[in-house]
Amino acid sequence: MFTGLIQSLGTLQPLGGDRFQLSCLPDKAAVILQDLAIGDSVAVDGICLTVEEILSQGFVATASDETLSRTTLGQRHQAATYVNLETSIRVGSKLGGHFVTGHIDGIGSLQDSVKTSNSWIMCFTAPASLQKSWQRHIARFLVPKGSIAVNGVSLTIAECDPQGSWFKVAVIPHSYAQTNLSYLQPGSWVNLESDILGKYVERLLGYQVPSANSLPINDISPEFLAEHGYL
């Protein structure tokens, strides 16, 4: 489990097949490596990977076929120059972002980035070849003011269209400077993970246990909730 608050940038070097070497930038290496152990989880551009070997300035990890097919690890030539790194959250740690699992829903791409007086407004959409996958895995969980992780960065959705085919986020200067969002160009591919809370709500609503006193979901109105003490 992660928070979406990036601790360091790093570089990614394929070692052949499904193995990758991650190298931390020298000035932030200690943040990632200070107590890293074999078997620990590290989010690499939002992808939860398991540390298999620890190096002087980084570590080695293996990606499954599912991970390679669903994330930018299988599309490195279209991704950012650097990767975002975050070690897993510890019990009792501050949760400044939102709950991020490191299980990527799919790939999106930067449509445009516009600098304003106090932020960057970034719009993300789906590459044409991945639009069906986007609709199936991501679009239904996009809601204004909801959470989303872009390359592992915890962000708040500022705006999205009703179909969920695109969304915009406002990125503050600190997040922009400390993550690889500042290296993205229009067309760059990114990893997206929607809010886990929305997934559980959808799952629970889809598996309602009928009873004599239950109502169809469409019959549950604000008036019904108020009458039964929920508002």
pLDDT in tens, 8-20: 999 999 998 899 9
pLDDT at residue 89 tops 90? no
pLDDT in tens, 146-182: 999 999 999 999 999 888 889 999 999 999 999 999 9
Q: Tell me what pLDDT residue 231 has.
A: 54
Report phi then psi at 48, rounded to 5: -75, 115
Tally the C-alpha atoms within 13 A of residue 53's C-alpha that lie toward its C-beta: 10
Residue bearing the bigger pLDDT, 75 or 29: 29
pLDDT at residue 217 tops 60? no
pTM: 0.85
Question: What mean pLDDT value characterizes the chain?
Answer: 87
pLDDT in tens, 103-142: 999 999 999 999 999 999 999 998 777 778 877 788 889 9
Q: Tell me what pLDDT residue 214 has.
A: 56
Query: Could you give all domains of the chain from N- to C-terminal order, each with its CATH number?
Result: 8-87 (2.40.30.20), 106-204 (2.40.30.20)
